[in-house]
Amino acid sequence: MTSTLFTFLQQYRPIPAADEALIEAATEHRFYKKGEVLFEAGKICRELFLVCSGILRIMIINEAGNEVTYFFVREGRLCSILNSFNNGTIAKENILAVNNVEVIVLKRAKLDQLFEKLPYLKTLINQITQQALLDKIAVRNEYMGLDAASRYKTFMAQQPEIAREVPLSDIASYLEITPQSLSRIRKNIR
């Protein structure tokens, strides 16, 4: 296994070694192939994913039937449809594997059991997910007010590892640029 939830959590604060077995017993290890769905919209998201390798894409299908990418989640990050996961609401978003992905999965029910046994864990998970949301907002704010070429250049500078792995159509969707415009922008940059 590339990474464990215990190892991931230890990056944020020391976790008693005695708690490792409890944490790891609550998780599942899964692999998804490129394009596979980890979570489908229209349901309640009951899983939290730790990306061990690969990239996930959070996206919706808009009213026109087009895919709109909200975020990419890379290795070493948690991913879920957080409002659905925390509040039991129906999610509009999907989570897809951009490439072959390895994840550690923590189901909501098991997480709640862990919170009862290890009360500090709730605060820690909340802090990690809150910081991840703040990071996503900061990244998206970087694109505000920029023209399409500047958004692409900013994306390439901020998220080069994602730019190398993600299909151009997904990048275009994320940057709110048509694929044709992105092709022209890329051609002009070279």
User: Given this model, what pLDDT does residue 89 score?
Assistant: 97
Question: Does residue 4 surpass a pLDDT of 90?
Answer: no
Per the rule left: phi > 0, alpha: psi between -120 and 50, beta: everything else, 145 is left
Looking at the chain, the whole-number percentage of residues with pLDDT higher than 90 is 90
Which residue is listed with tokens 């087009």?
66
Q: Where are the domains of the chain?
A: 5-144, 145-190
Q: What is the mean pLDDT of residues 115-122?
A: 96
Q: Quick one: which of 69, 78, 76 has its CA closest to 96? A: 69
The pair of three-digit structure tokens given for residue 86, joined into one six-digit string: 């925390």
- How many other C-beta atoms can be found within 10 angstroms of the C-beta atom of residue 4? 17
Identity at 22, one-letter amino acid code: L
Which whole-number Å values give the CA distances from 87 to 11, 41, 43, in the listed order? 27, 15, 12
Q: What is the 3-state secondary structure (H, E, C) of 64-87?
A: CCCEEEEEEECCCCEECCHHHHHH
Q: Tens digits of per-residue pLDDT, 123-172?
A: 999 999 999 999 989 988 999 899 999 999 999 999 999 999 999 999 99
What is the CATH topology of the domain spanning 5-144?
A: Jelly Rolls (2.60.120)
Q: Number of C-alpha atoms within 13 angstroms, CB side, residue 10?
A: 13
Q: Which H/E stretch holds residue 165?
A: helix 160-165
The answer to whether the predicted template modeling score (pTM) of the entire model surpasses 0.85 is yes
pLDDT band at 3 (very low <50, low <70, confident <90, very high): low
